[in-house]
Structure 1
Amino acid sequence: MTDSPRSGSHESETRSSEEGMLASLVAIVRFTSELRRYYLGVIVCALVTAGAGLATPFLIGHATDTIVDAVNSGSGVGVLPTLAMLALAILVMELVSTVMHNLGGYTGDVLSNRIRALLSTRYLDKLLRLPQDWFDSEMTGSIVSRLNRSITEVSNFMKSMSNTFFSMLLQTVAVLVISAIYYWPLAVLLAVVFPVYVWLTGLTSRKWQRLEADKNHHIDSAGGRFAEVVGQIRVVRSFVRERHELHTFTDHFERTHDTTREQSRHWHTMDVLRRGVLNVVFAAMYLLIFWRTLEGEFSVGQMVLLIQLITMARTPVEMMSWVLDTAQRAVAGSRDYFRVMREVEVPTPDGMPELPARPEDAPVLEFDDVRFGYGDGPDVLTDVTFDVRPGERVALVSESGGGKTTLVNLLLGLYPLRSGHIRIDGIDIAAMPHDELRRRVSIVFQDASLFSDTVGENIRYGLPDASQDEVALAARRANAGEFVERLDGGYDALIGERGLKLSGGQKQRISVARAMLKDASVLVLDEATSALDTRSERAVQEGLEELMAGRTSLVIAHRLSTIATVDRIVTLKEGHVDEIGTPAELAKTGGVYGELLALQRRGEDSYLNAYQTSR
């Protein structure tokens, strides 16, 4: 009878699942191979503990035969020294087992912490080298949840492997050999029960893996939403969405409830079958031992020895199920982790090309026929060509969504171009290592993007080795020194997550000071004052004027008043350059800049008329 296509597909799926699990386990072991000395320490402790445990049944069996012989011969007192020595030997074995077990536990704890550190640092290192578009489609909370789950499951698996697997293997082989020496059918039954038990556990794990993946999806989604809600708590409260967010969060865990019930029901049903087979086989072995003893083939001491060995063999069989359980949890928990680790990193050149000989007035910054689009989407920018001369201030103007911030992202090398070139100091940025490219650019974002650290450390982020005097000078030049000195702690004052203890204007002035301290050859102002009130804007603008003095600057601004003093304006329309000229020239052409300027003036006039009427 031939297999149906459905059954062939199922077998292929099964093989694929098993191969995937094995490949994942190999990846985990290789990934943590530098911790081999810790693994070796745990393994040695486990083997010594197992060896001491195996010696005890022999000592007890010998003591049993000694007592039985003494009772039968009536010479009980004469064997006391022998029994005392056997008791002392048992004590030594137990002490050795206790000490080595705890030494192994200590090494395992250190190993677990090292695994946590290794997984965490490598994960962050990988994230820092991934392309920007990867982050565009990921939730921050999901990234963190994925790391936490992977650390827990992988460290548990590696500890169980080193703590139990090798001692379990030693015990199993020893029991098989000893059983074969005393009575070969016992060894045959043991040799059969091991693979049968592992096979049944493998059958169980396939469905378990699928259900665990579904559960992890909901847990990661809940974790991602949780992080977003905490980060946007003011928005949640202002729109009275607390109950909605709680319901959404709870719903993800409610969905895991049914999955967990199905998963647990399947696992424990199969466990009844596995253990039932185990119980039958071991009952048969006990019966054989009892029968052989009754027939006089085994002494009472040998019977006790074999029963203890068989009982010891039962533990490894059952532990195999636990090892497989932790293994499949590690595979399920680390699958997304290793998916991230396999992501293609942003390619970066190894070395800096030689700086070409150029005239002093050659452009510092050049956009040459730049074309770009996100992913497989349509072009966002086409044929963008302009340059910025040394010390020149050039503003980018367009309607919202015109591509201004995209150009800044391309300048920083966050996305690859579809065609064209961007050059700094005559060097194509595609030929520059990313760290060298970004050292040459200082940027002040619309969002100040501060860290939950001190004021001084946030300013020093632009130049980590800067002295306190240099930090204070940058703050004063950015028009921030006065308010910083009034803070409790001054430059050592903690500003909270994302600078929540500071006002918008204060945060932006810290951001300006940070860019000022970096002192890069190219400055980018990405709508640096658009979110500020008039008074804060004035204070920040003074700092920006100081920052731009004598520096090649690219300015993006919604408020056209902030770019009135630039040397040239480049307007973008539908993703391409529409006009290039001075503010005065473009104000008369009726292009994008002229239209926006007229709209702004009409808005100001309407506000003034309404104000005068109200008076």
Structure 2
Amino acid sequence: MRSLGRILAHVANLWPWYLGIVICSLASAGTALAVPFVLRSVTDLVVAAVNTHAVDLGAVVRLAAVLLAFDLANTVTSNIGGYLGDNMAMRLRAGLSKRYFDKLLGLPQRYFDDELSGTIIGRLSRSITEITQFMQSFSNNFFPMLLTVGAVLVITAHYSVWISLLLLAIFPLYVFFTALTSRRWQRFERRKNAHVDQASGRFAEVISQMRVVKSFVQERREYSGFSRHYDRTVALTRPQSRWWHSMDVVRRGVLNVVFFVIYLIIFLGTARSVYSLGTMVMLVQMVGMARQPATMMSFFVDQSQRAVAGSRDYFEVLAQPSEHDWRHEDAPAPALIDADAPMISFRDISFGYGQGPDVVEHISFDVARGERLALVSESGGGKTTLVSLLMGLYRPRQGQILVSGHDTSTLGVTQLRAEVGVVFQEPLLFSGTVSENIAYADPDVADQQIRDAAKRANADAFIRALPHGYASVVGERGLKLSGGQKQRIAVARAMIKDAPILVLDEATSALDSRAEQAVQNGLEQLMEGRTSIIIAHRLSTIATVDRIVTMRGGRVDEIGSPAELAASGGIYAQLLALQASGRRRDRRRLKEFDITH
């Protein structure tokens, strides 16, 4: 009940719709309750006519017309209530979905590191669907029936207190037996949900990387893994369903006994002339109206249990600590300017992922305004980690990162990230047009600025050669473009952002020599006048920087200009020597540093 209460509290803004549903439910219940009274009168009138052989046809027609009027009124009011319920359910789904997405946008990067994207998406679909379906059923069906039952209890009490008390006893009995059933059922449901979420997560991964699956001929293995999760849900459903329906036999068996006693009271009362035949017909119909929601409780309780199970996952996400509230940071703060301070300062930085050991330890160095600095280390040496820390994707365990003299821990992440432009090793594009991807940082930018950025990124020529030019759709993740084309669009996108700090995370590593040269020309344009941190992949890009920071074992090893480090005998000097060597062993050693010729 607590979980259902949280759901209702979460959608309190829908009360006008619920009020409309309540009004329609009252009208629908009133018209439905009037029908047994009309039938009582008709029955008594017909019985009297049979006994006296005198039929009042006008009265019969009038009662039939009244019956029709109540039926029509019930049809109209129930459908208006259904209309309101459908709209309320869709508003509920929209509200829950928007709140979920809102929360995800504000969660720190570490949350997405620990979750499969498909699991996050599947949770949105499953949890919110189950919650919405329950609320829709409750408003459209169960809530009107509850009002009807309340009225039936009052009416039947006028004729027999025992009938009313027995009807009233049905609901606590049902709730009691349901409580006995629920806890074990919920355990099964959570385990099933976990398998469904894992299968959904893998499904999304495989669909997004189908070329890899096919090229390694792993279709059968992926299908088998996917099937195992759903086979497990089938296996869990057997004991879950057996438990639920076994208990449902007990619940409904108790109800059957209670209704047997109620009908016995009505029939014996009629046989003893306590009730007229018309009153008996009315009471039987009244009990039938109370019996319908009682027997349908299995369905509603089942839906409520699914909603509770789904809401747990939903509320667990909402309970995650956010890194910021992006809705209140729409306008980036003014640029950070302090001419006397280094543009970037790492001061005794240590950091590790989750509960793991430190990946980088005691890192300290400055990057001057307008300087080009390269980071060089073996694979996994902490280069990308430092960039992630600079962008505020993670918080260091120890030390400070300063941007233009300002501690990044005191800045809003929107203001911090507004200072940093990034070109990643993998050019991540969205489905949509070329123009939309270039203008991602500023959707309102003028078309001419988009074209100017594309020209500077050495991308304008190939874009104009596309079937629809800048309006060409690039496909999911930019699959309709080559690696070099996607990377040049990423460079143009960074130009539109126009941030004072630029991070090049191995931006040309995946390209062939020709594509690399085209992208490199664009990068030179992009780096002009900016403070740049380059995660090095090719020594040709390292040679043009102002300084190099080499890292070994997560610590700073050397800092100096390319000329200074070439003569120091350290990592950079070793790389130069390895590159000059033609031996296969030396080429393998270069790969350990993520370095190629």
After TM superposition, the score normalised by the length of structure 2 is 0.94
Instruction: Report the CA distance between 1:328 and its aligned residue.
Output: 0.5
1:568–1:581 Cα contact (<8 Å) kept = yes
Pairing 1:401–2:380 present: yes
Match of 1:234 among 206, 211, 214: 211
Question: Contact 1:131–1:415 at 8 Å: present in 2 too?
Answer: yes
Amino acid at match of 1:227: A
Deviations 1:388-439 (A, max 9, x none): 2221111111111111100100011011111211111211111111111111
The alpha-carbon distance between structure 1 residues 199 and 513, as it changes in their structure 2 partners (threshold 3 A), is same
| AA partner of residue 148 (structure 1) | S
Determine the structure 2 residue equivalent to 1:587. 566
Which one is further off, 129-138 or 406-415? 129-138
CA contact (8 A) 1:43 1:163 kept: no
The match for 1:17 is: none
Q: Contact 2:25 / 2:147 at 8 angstroms: preserved in 1?
A: no
- Aligned equivalents of 2:340 and 2:166: distance in 1? 89
The separation in 1 between residues aligned to 2:6 and 2:179, in whole angstroms, is 19
Q: Which residue of the partner structure matches residue 64 of structure 1?
A: 43
SS at match of 1:589: coil
Tell me if the contact between 2:131 and 2:311 (Cα under 8 Å) persists in the aligned partners: yes
Task: Look up the match of 2:493.
Answer: 514
Residues 124-133 or 182-191, more deviating: 182-191
Asked whether the 8 Å contact 1:484–1:491 carries over to 2, the reply is yes
Q: CA deviation at 1:62?
A: 1.2
Pick closer, same or farther for the CA change 1:593–1:310 going to 2, 3 Å: same
Q: Which residue of 2 aligns with 1:549?
A: 528
Partner of 1:300: 277
Give the alignment of 1:379-458 within 5 angstroms.
379-458=358-437
1:456 aligned partner, one-letter code: S
CA distance in 2, matches of 1:291, 1:356: 89
User: Which runs of structure 2 are paired with 1:183-582 in the superposition (5 Å)?
Assistant: 183-347=160-324, 358=338, 360=339, 362-582=341-561
Query: Match for 1:421: what amino acid?
Result: Q
Amino acid in the other structure paired with 1:282: F
Work out the percentage of aligned pairs sharing the same amino acid: 55
Alpha-carbon separation, structure 1, partners of 2:586 and 2:393:
41
Which amino acid in structure 2 is aligned with residue 50 of structure 1?
A
The equivalent of 2:590 in structure 1 is none
Partners of 2:349 and 2:361 within 8 A in 1: yes
Match of 1:137 among 114, 125, 128: 114
Alignment correspondent of 2:594: none
- How far the C-alpha of 1:39 sits from its partner, in A, is 2.0
Do the aligned partners of 1:454 and 1:491 also contact (CA within 8 Å) in 2? Answer: yes
Q: Distance in 2 between matches of 1:103 and 1:259?
A: 40
* 1:284 counterpart letter in structure 2: V
Q: C-alpha displacement at 1:97, in angstroms?
A: 1.0
More displaced 10-residue stretch of structure 1: 537-546 or 569-578: 569-578
Secondary structure of the residue aligned to 1:369 is: strand
Cα offset for 1:322? 2.3
Q: What residue number does 1:164 align with? A: 141
- The CA distance in 2 between the partners of 1:374 and 1:258, in whole Å, is 36
Question: Which letter maps to 1:442?
Answer: G
- Structure 1 pair 113–304 and aligned structure 2 pair: CA distance change class (3 A): same
- Cα offset, 1:369, TM superposition: 1.7
Match of 1:50 in 2: 29
Instruction: Select the residue among 94, 104, 115 that pairs with 2:81.
Output: 104
Contact 1:39 1:162 in 2 (8 A): yes
Q: CA deviation at 1:43?
A: 2.4
What residue is the counterpart of 2:57 in the other structure?
A: 80
Superposition deviation, residue 279 in structure 1: 1.6
- DSSP 3-state at the match of 1:577: strand
TM-score (norm. length: structure 1): 0.92
- The match for 1:14 is none
Cα deviation for residue 353 of structure 1 reads: 9.1
Q: In 2, Cα distance between the equivalents of 1:91 and 1:219?
A: 49
The alpha-carbon distance between structure 1 residues 314 and 218, as it changes in their structure 2 partners (threshold 3 A), is same
Q: What's the offset of the Cα at 1:281?
A: 1.6
Indicate the RMSD between aligned Cα atoms, in angstroms: 2.0
Q: Counterpart of 1:270 in 2: which secondary structure?
A: helix
Equivalent residues of 2:134, 2:304 under 8 A apart = yes
Give me the whole-angstrom Cα distance separating, in 2, the residues matched to 1:460 and 1:288.
77
Find the residue that maps to 1:524 and give its secondary structure.
strand
Label 1:312 to 1:406 Cα distance change in 2 as closer, same or farther (>3 A).
Answer: same
Contact map agreement 2:333 2:415 (CA 8 A) in 1? no
Partner of 1:4 in structure 2? Answer: none
Q: CA deviation at 1:605?
A: 9.8
Task: Note the C-alpha offset of 1:296.
Answer: 1.0
Distance 2:582 2:490 in 1: 30
Moved more, 301-310 or 285-294: 285-294
The alpha-carbon distance between structure 1 residues 149 and 353, as it changes in their structure 2 partners (threshold 3 A), is: closer
Moved more, 211-220 or 38-47: 38-47
Q: Aligned partners of 1:164 and 1:43: how far apart in 2?
A: 11
Match of 1:151 among 112, 119, 128: 128
How many Å apart are 1:121 and its aligned residue?
A: 1.3
Native 8 Å contact 1:361 1:390 kept in 2: no
Between stretches 405-414 and 144-153, larger displacement belongs to: 144-153
| Partner Cα separation in structure 2 for residue 363 and residue 473 of structure 1 | 31
Q: What is the CA-CA distance between 1:66 and the residue it aligns to?
A: 1.6
Do structure 1's residue 181 and structure 2's residue 140 form an aligned pair? no
**Deviation of 1:355 (Å):** 8.3
Asked whether the equivalents of residues 107 and 324 of structure 2 are also in contact (C-alpha less than 8 Å), the reply is no
**What amino acid sits opposite 2:25 in the alignment?**
A
Letter in 2 for 1:412: M
Figure out how many residues of one structure are paired with residues of the other and give that number: 584
Shift of 1:534: 0.7
- Range with greater deviation from structure 2 (139-148 or 253-262): 253-262
Residues 285-323 of structure 1, C-alpha deviations (whole Å, 9 max, x = no match): 112111111111111111111111011110121233322
Gaps of 5+ in 1: 1-21, 609-615
Gaps of 5+ in 2: 588-597
Question: CA 1:356–1:54 in 2, change beyond 3 Å: closer, same or farther?
Answer: closer
